[in-house]
Amino acid sequence: MPNIEVNGKSYETDEEGYLVNLADWNRDVADYIAKAESVNMTDQHWEVVDFLRGYYDEYQIAPAVRVLTKAIGKKLGPEKGNSQYLYELFPYGPAKQACKIAGLPKPTGCV
């Protein structure tokens, strides 16, 4: 099992770089994963990551892109609830990449 090293602490990840233990997540770990993905975290990025954490906490799944987009639109407004905005923040897919940074498992049905 590959590990990542953040602030002298070791965290277990899977082959694709997703955190194995949900509870391991913190902002420093998120920052580290984001850097590895060449994503420079801004307030806009954190907003989406925090939203995903909240969604997972409530429903125990990572949402599909379509569902995430719609739910973000409802909560943060239509200018953010569209795939263009989300793909600009997370070029490799808002669900896939943002979930990885948020320390969540890969969304169910994500291909």
Partner 1 sequence: MSEESSIKKFMFVNRKPPYGTVYALEALEVVLITAAFDQDVSLVFLDDGVYQLRKGQQTKGIETKNFSPTYRALDGYDIEKLYVEKESLEARGLTEDDLLVDVMVLDRAALGALMDQQDVVLSF
Spatial CB neighbours of 51, under 8 Å, sequence gap ≥ 6:
68, 71, 72, 75, 76
Amino acid letter, residue 13 = T
**How many chain residues are in contact with partner 1, going by CB under 8 A?**
12
Of the candidates 50, 56, 49, 24, which has an alpha carbon nearest to the alpha carbon of residue 4?
24
| Known catalytic residue at 99 | no
Is residue 23 a contact point for partner 1 (CB under 8 A)? no
CB of 15 to partner 1, least distance (A): 20
Is residue 109 a contact point for partner 1 (CB under 8 A)? yes
Site for partner 1 in 41-60 (CB under 8 A): 58-60
